Amino acid sequence: MIKIGLAGLRHRMAAFLATFIAVLLGCAILVACGGLFESAMRLDTPPHRLAAAPVLISGSDAFKLPDEESETVPYTERSGVDAAVLTKVSGVDGVRTAVPDVSFPAAVLGKDGQLDTPGLNGHGWASAALTPYNLVKGGAPAAGQVAIDQDTAARLGVAPGATVTVAVDGAPHKFVLAGVVAGDAGPAVFVADADLATYAPHHGRIDLVGVFPKDGVDADTLAGRLSAALPGLSVVSGDDRGLAEFPGVAVGQLPMILMASIFGAMVVVVMGIVVAATVGLSVRQRMRELALLRASGATPKQVHRMVVGETLAIAALGSLGGLALGAPFGSMIFALCTSRGIAPDALEFRQGPIPFAAGLVVGIGMPLLASAFAARPAAKARPIEALAEAAIPAVSVAPLRRTLAMVFGVATVGLALATPFLDAETASAVGGPAVLTGAIAVALIGPEAMVRLAEYAEPWLRRRFGANGLLAATNTRSRAVMFAAVLTPLTLATAIAVGNVYSQTTQSDAAIDAHADQLQADAVVTSVSGGIAPGLLDAVRKTPGVAAASPFVSSQGWIEDPYDDSHGSDRWPLLGLEDSGVLATEVEAGSLRDLRGNAVAMPEDQADDLDLGVGSAVTLRLGDGTQVRVKVVALLDALSDYGSLVLPADLLVAHTTAGLPSHVLVRGADGQDPDDLASAIAGRVATWPGATVGDQDTLRALYTADMNMQAWINYLLAGLAIAYAAIASVNTLAVAVLARRREFAVQRLAGATRKHVTRMLCLESGFIAVAALVLGTVIAAFTVLPMALASGAIIPSGPLWVYPAVIAAVALIVWPVTVATARKAMSEKPIDAVVAP
């Protein structure tokens, strides 16, 4: 029987091709997700600028939350190392040289005064050995001198002895060019080690220590000795050195793991629905053939084995193709993630055997399971019943499927009812799966849903389109099982597109509004040369019409004592301000005038949850791991879901990597025109490299960038899932139309023209498209509306063009495929189609 089944593949190529494509694409996407997950778990990050040092020592990069069940969470700022540790390192047996590394914002200016190398860090000359950078011209820099890389020197047209301007810590400084260096780590700026005390953002603290072992001493062995001698510090060797050089890689681990896990789970569900629909349609198309085999003496077991064997062959071929496609596809998605800042540039993509094994198991297992269930009715039915079923398919749903549909439907409603009462982060995790559970419910009960919808639509179709409308409605009812296979992926694509996009935009808009509305400014000064220098802040304050100018610092941290278990590993946004006049949040208790020294202002509802009030003491763990005991001086009217902890700017900035404020928030005097104020400030800061002046929208941009990144992740995941479902829709629709060649031939022999048949098919497919859009929209509403309520909005928000685009996409999927396959199905003479096997 298996040989018969394999031989039959040639005559059912369209149906088997649909299954092949569904398995191939699903397996490829699953392998790609596995690669993202593995990359996030392994965090392979080879060193770049510090590649020459076999061992690196850095400050602790993570801590364990007070909750004993929690894992360690990484710091968002570089913690650094006390400079005194150099003496201790040098005394460890096996150490030949210990080189301190300190980074500070530095950007070389071109001859036009504009930044030539924005976003660059400067270092002491000793750090050149850590790459290494080697002198190609001139010598090592002395006090007041600098060395730069040869590419930058060539662009500027300078040689040793020339004067170059470098923006250090946001302020322009003139240096004598002492030397030109070459290395593999890109642009570089080195100052004399004696000048580091002047430019280092954190005095008495260094970023890293690069250690060179003595001859014959193994790097891993030396790392072990250093770890024992330096408790509380991070000592790494090998590829782990990259985590010390790029601390942001560890911060991005959890988001990448969650992204890959959620996407992988979504793909498995989508693949299960699509493959089940495709395989079921393929088996349904062959009911007449299977019935004849039963009537010819084939046993139920033989028929069942033949169907499963055919599916196994197709699934194996599709899975192998998916495995081959999964590697380059995974690399492409990872490259997109790094280009968008979702994954750090320094992280290496890794795709070991486990993702391929998982893809193979799912790629073969799901079609086999689907074919085993789909073949049961034909294999178990009596031969005469099987022939009758092939002629007029019964529209019924098994009790088990109906029960499962009810379970998933109840789960969808339950998730929707629970979502509005959860915080924003939890609401996203709980409400999101409602799209999938709803789609599964529709897939399980699809045939009966098609019958009910056709019954409701029949009177209108008959009145509007006459005989063609009546015939379309009748066909939809009688072929509900076949059409349900087309309905399912279209409904799924609609639900994912509408649900994911609008739930993301609703949540993002609410978060951006809540964060940006905490602050108020008539003008916002930004510098891309490393931060806001004290001189730049003074220049802004001296501008006529300025009533208040506050440095703005942002970071992240945790409330450690009393422990805030509502956030757990999720970090609190920390805002550093000097002038309370730029804070728009209403004060419910206390006073922002007391926000100085070790003080904090926090949301009132969060304070109530922790039994805190004005005057209470709180221990915070800041972004660099420093514990700070602060006093609550004010309670703010801000929701804890989107609220922030407000600290004095000088307290917070000392615990950031840059060590400088990122912006200046300016309030104008009473009656001062904001546009005139911005122009006056722009004139004052024109001589400061990289300084720009914006308005209140600049504040929104601070949060929009991060939210846009999250939105892009959602769009990427939704886009791939939608594309997969759309391709499956095209396949199933084409198979469903081509399977009706004999029916079309009979209609044409009875007097119908090709145009009549095509019009009928377009009405049928249009009805399926409308049904998919309605069902998909209803399913999406169970996610979008509760998410809006959880975010504090009454109605969802988002771009209006998305929904019309979804409608247009469904129409473009349905009608062109219908017309093209109808032309193919009616390409032969009617009498030949009637007698064809």
Give tens-digit pLDDT for 705-763: 666 666 676 677 667 767 777 777 787 777 777 777 777 788 888 887 888 888 888 88
Q: What is the pTM of this model?
A: 0.79
pLDDT-based confidence at 145, cuts 50/70/90?
very high
CA distance 790 to 423: 7
Answer yes or no: are the C-beta atoms of 284 and 374 closer than 8 Å.
yes
pLDDT > 80? residue 593: yes
CA distance 263 to 257: 10
Nearest alpha carbon to residue 697 among 505, 514, 524, 511: 524
Q: Give the mean pLDDT of 501-523.
A: 80
Which is higher by pLDDT, 636 or 421?
Answer: 636
Nearest alpha carbon to residue 726 among 495, 513, 535, 542: 495
pLDDT of residue 176: 92
Which is higher by pLDDT, 558 or 425?
Answer: 558
> Residue 219 is encoded by which pair of tokens?
């790097």
Query: pLDDT > 70: what percent of the chain?
Result: 90
Strands 104-108 and 163-168: antiparallel
Q: Which DSSP symbol is given to 174?
A: E
pLDDT of residue 378: 61
Answer yes or no: are the C-beta atoms of 63 and 77 closer than 8 Å.
no
pLDDT > 80? residue 402: yes
CA distance 232 to 585: 39
Which is higher by pLDDT, 598 or 563?
Answer: 598
Peptide bond into 393 cis (omega under 30): no
Answer yes or no: are the C-beta atoms of 226 and 57 closer than 8 Å.
yes
pLDDT of residue 293: 74
CA-based R_g, the chain, Å? 33
pLDDT-based confidence at 618, cuts 50/70/90?
very high
pLDDT of residue 439: 86
Q: Give the mean pLDDT of 608-623.
A: 89
Q: At what angle do helices 253-285 and 300-339 cross, to 10 degrees?
A: 150
pLDDT tens digits for range 647-701: 999 999 999 988 889 899 998 888 888 888 889 998 888 888 888 888 877 777 7
pLDDT > 60? residue 772: yes
C-alpha 557 chain-centroid distance: 22
CA distance 384 to 390: 10
C-alpha 582 chain-centroid distance: 33
Which is higher by pLDDT, 793 or 395?
Answer: 793
> Residue 174 is encoded by which pair of tokens?
């003139």
pLDDT > 70? residue 69: no
Which is higher by pLDDT, 244 or 394?
Answer: 244
Q: Give the mean pLDDT of 375-383.
A: 65
Answer yes or no: are the C-beta atoms of 211 and 53 closer than 8 Å.
yes
Looking up tokens 């969802």 gives 796
Q: Give the mean pLDDT of 586-596.
A: 87
pLDDT tens digits for range 435-489: 888 888 888 888 888 888 888 888 888 888 888 788 888 888 877 777 888 888 8
CA distance 556 to 575: 8
pLDDT of residue 835: 63
Write the secondary structure of 526-544 as one string of H (helix), E (strand) and C (coil). Answer: EECCCCCCHHHHHHHHCCC
